[in-house]
């Protein structure tokens, strides 16, 4: 099977691949496809999985005040961090990972497999700003 996994068909000497934006000729796509696509997938799966296991968040989650933890409430393992990212290999079918949300479940399918969950963590500065107390001391003075 090719990397990334996708369906392809051979017509004579031409191989056509099925991707979300339509078929293309695999042999004429050059260095961007041959090197760039695997590197981008590796970054998205492995490096961001490592980030989730070490810090509990990715830059986007950190900005939104979210954090990934294990079902037991501890830091996620490296394997669990990587398992959570595997939906990138599904290509256009990656949205299937979110099907449980249709029935009100807040965990994705891969969260269930990795035994992880995402929690909301509000930093002190954000909480203080939302209550109008940012920059004030206990005495109420700035």
Predicted local distance difference test score (pLDDT) of residue 23: 47
- Give the Cα separation of 88 and 125 in Å (integer): 34
At 137 the pLDDT is 44
pLDDT at 14 over 70: no
Average pLDDT of span 111-120: 92
pLDDT 10s digits, 59-101:
888 888 899 999 999 999 999 999 998 888 887 788 888 888 8
Residue 141: the pLDDT is 47
Whether 93 maps to a domain, the answer reads yes
**Is position 55 within any domain?**
yes
Alpha carbon distance 18, 86 (integer Å): 19
Neighbours of 71 (CB within 10 A): 14
| Domain annotation covers residue 35 | yes
**Lowest-pLDDT range of 11-15, 18-22, 29-33, 117-121:** 18-22
Q: 79 lies in a domain?
A: yes
Q: Does residue 136 carry a pLDDT above 50?
A: no
Q: Which domain holds residue 48?
A: 8-130
Residue 2 lies in a domain: no
- Looking at the structure of the chain, the number of domains it has is 1
Q: Which of 3-7, 12-16, 53-57, 134-138 has the lowest mean pLDDT?
A: 134-138
- Whether 43 maps to a domain, the answer reads yes
Give 19 or 43, the one with higher predicted confidence.
43
What does 92-109 look like in DSSP terms, one character per residue?
GGGGGGGGGGGGT--S-H
Average pLDDT over residues 104-109: 86
């Amino acid at each position: 099977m090719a990397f990334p996994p996708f369906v392809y068909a051979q017509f004579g000497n031409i191989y056509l691949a099925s991707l979300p934006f339509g078929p293309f000729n695999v042999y004429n796509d050059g260095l961007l496809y041959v090197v760039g696509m695997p590197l981008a997938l590796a970054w998205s799966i492995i490096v961001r999985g490592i980030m989730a296991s070490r810090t509990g968040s990715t830059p986007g989650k950190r900005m939104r005040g979210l954090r990934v933890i294990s079902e037991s409430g501890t830091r996620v393992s490296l394997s669990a961090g990587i398992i959570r990212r595997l939906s990138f290999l599904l290509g256009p079918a990656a949205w299937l990972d979110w099907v449980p949300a249709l029935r009100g479940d807040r965990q994705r399918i891969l969260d269930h497999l990795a035994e992880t969950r995402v929690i909301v963590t509000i930093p002190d500065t954000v909480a203080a700003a939302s209550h109008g107390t940012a920059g004030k001391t206990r005495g109420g003075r700035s």
